[in-house]
Amino acid sequence: MKYFKYKSITIQFDEKNILKYVEKHLRHKDCETGGIICGYYTDDLSQATITEFCEPPKDSIFGRSTFSRGVVGTEKYLKEKWNKGQYYLGDWHLHPYSSPIASFQDLNQLEINSNDKQLKCPEPLMVIVGGSSNKDFNVYIFIESEAKLCQHLDKSIQDNH
Ligand SMILES: [Zn+2]
């Protein structure tokens, strides 16, 4: 499990599936990829759990250092998730073999997502995967009208007990 924190909000997710997907993607391609992330918040909104890192919609645009997520199938997918108590929480994307630090364009996209009426998520997350082994994560949250970098919490010790 990975744990991140911004002020009183913690964000947690199991990284196994997304890392597996990224590895598979990089076996054939060296471009960026990404998708939406789904999950839920606790009632007091203090804890977000990401349950799914989705694969890219078919109309996404994959560049060497850019990724523009498409929308095909997203509305239907989110409607189905809604019935299961899961919601759009944000987007993820891969920076192949490079730092998972958000670009200016990424931060701009996060603000656009925040204002997207269809997504209904005013405080969206952005998870970026990258690093030399493509296993590093950065998590950003758009909150208080700004994109903020969340702090990575190392809870691996607790996980093993
Ligand atoms: Zn990026």
The tens digit of pLDDT for each residue in 57-75 reads: 999 999 999 999 999 999 9
Query: What does the block give as tokens for 1?
Result: 């499990």
pLDDT at 42: 95
Q: How far is the CA of 101 from the centre of ligand 1 (A)?
A: 7
Mean local confidence (pLDDT), 18-34: 96
Grade residue 155 by pLDDT with cuts at 50, 70 and 90.
Answer: confident
Average pLDDT, the chain: 95
Predicted TM-score (pTM) of the model is 0.94
Q: What string of DSSP letters covers 39-65?
A: EEE-TTS-EEEEEEEPPPPTT-EE-SS
pLDDT of residue 73: 95
How many angstroms is it from 79 CA to the middle of ligand 1? 27
User: Distance (Å, rounded) from C-alpha 108 to C-alpha 116?
Assistant: 13
In this prediction, residue 85 carries a pLDDT of 95
At 154, the pLDDT band (50, 70, 90 cuts) reads confident
Torsion of CA 31, 36, 40, 45, to 10 degrees: 80
The CATH architecture annotation of domain 2-159 reads 3-Layer(aba) Sandwich (3.40)
Q: How far is the CA of 107 from the centre of ligand 1 (A)?
A: 9
| Distance in Å, CA 128 to ligand 1 centroid | 7
The 8-class DSSP code of residue 94 comes to E
pLDDT at 7: 96
pLDDT at 15: 97
Answer yes or no: is pLDDT of 125 > 80: yes
- Give the Å distances, CA to CA, from 96 to 16, 26, 33, 53, 71: 17, 8, 9, 17, 22
Distances from the Cα of 2 to the Cαs of 17, 112, 151, 159, in angstroms?
Answer: 12, 26, 11, 10
Ligand 1 centroid from CA 25, angstroms? 16
Best CA proximity match to 3, nearest among 38, 57, 47: 47
Distance 134 CA to ligand 1 centre (A): 13
Catalytic residues: 32
- Spell out the domain ranges in the chain: 2-159
Looking at residue 157, its pLDDT comes to 56
